[in-house]
Amino acid sequence: MRKRHPNHRLAKIHRNYTVDEVAGLFGIHKNTVREWVKRGLPTSDDRRPMLILGSELVTFLRAKREKNKRTCKPGEIYCVRCRAPKSPAGQMADYMPLTQTQGNLVGICPDCETMIFRRASLAKLALVRGKLDLRLPQALQHIVESAEPSVNSDFAKDARDHGDAQR
Domains and CATH numbers, the chain: 8-68 (1.10.10), 77-135 (no CATH)
CA pair distance 45, 83, nearest whole angstrom? 37
DSSP state of 52: E
User: Other C-beta atoms within 10 Å of 81: how many?
Assistant: 13
**HSE of 83 in the Cβ direction (CA atoms, 13 Å)?**
2
Residue 157 has pLDDT above 70, yes or no: no
pLDDT of residue 34: 92
CA pair distance 45, 57, nearest whole angstrom? 14
Find out whether 25 and 10 touch, Cβ atoms under 8 Å: yes
46-105 pLDDT per residue, tens: 778 889 999 999 999 998 888 877 788 888 888 888 888 889 989 899 988 888 889 888
pLDDT of residue 129: 83
12-47 pLDDT per residue, tens: 989 999 999 999 999 999 999 999 999 999 988 777
pLDDT of residue 1: 45
Contacts of 25 (CB under 8 A, 6+ apart): 10, 11, 17
CA pair distance 35, 136, nearest whole angstrom? 48
Paired with 103 in beta bridges are 97, 120
